[in-house]
Amino acid sequence: MIIEKVVANIEEMEEREVKKRHIEKVYLESAFLVKRIQRVKTDHGNELGIRLKEARELVAGDVLFMDDKNMIVVDVLSDDLIVISPRSIEEMGNIAHQLGNRHLPAQFEGTDMLVQYDYLVVELLQEMGIPFRREDRKVKKAFRHIGHSHE
């Protein structure tokens, strides 16, 4: 089966519409959410080709296929993350500046800043005295590097 568009997102569907269907999942590493063309396998062993016509990234919960009885949904594998919990806007500004200089992609959940694990970031956080913890956590979107050059 070739998937050319995302049908819906499970989080935006009515609960009764989801519950009446058997859910098959495609587990992806967060880095693969940005790929519009890829071959995947569901948790039931079925192979799918994804070739999205529209220029969009996959997101956790995207429904790739749905009929009256079944649906195939994207799920994301956990990432090894550093969860940074600055105590003040000053700490947030300082660490955001430092990580920005390193061109590290970050995501935000509430007051937490999430970055993919890197021992150099751990050393920096320890040196700066900014609270953090290492965690395996699922993210909904891929960590994206933003193109930039120093000219």
The tens digit of pLDDT for each residue in 48-66 reads: 999 999 888 899 999 999 9
**Is 146's pLDDT higher than 60?**
no
Residue 116 and residue 86: Cα distance in Å, rounded?
Answer: 17
Residues 6+ apart with CB under 8 A from 88: none
Query: Strand pairing partners for 3?
Result: 50
Taking phi over 0 as left and psi of -120 to 50 as alpha, with beta for the rest, 70 belongs to beta
Residue 129 confidence (pLDDT): 95
Tally Cβ neighbours within 10 Å of residue 84.
23
Question: In this predicted model, what pLDDT tens digit does every residue of 111-143 receive, in sequence order?
Answer: 899 999 999 999 999 999 999 999 999 888 888
Q: pTM for this one?
A: 0.75
- Domains along the chain with CATH numbers: 2-76 (2.60.260.20), 79-137 (3.30.70.790)
HEC states along 26-80?
EEECHHHHHCCEEEEECCCCCEEEEECCCCCCCCCCEEEEECCCEEEEEEECCEE
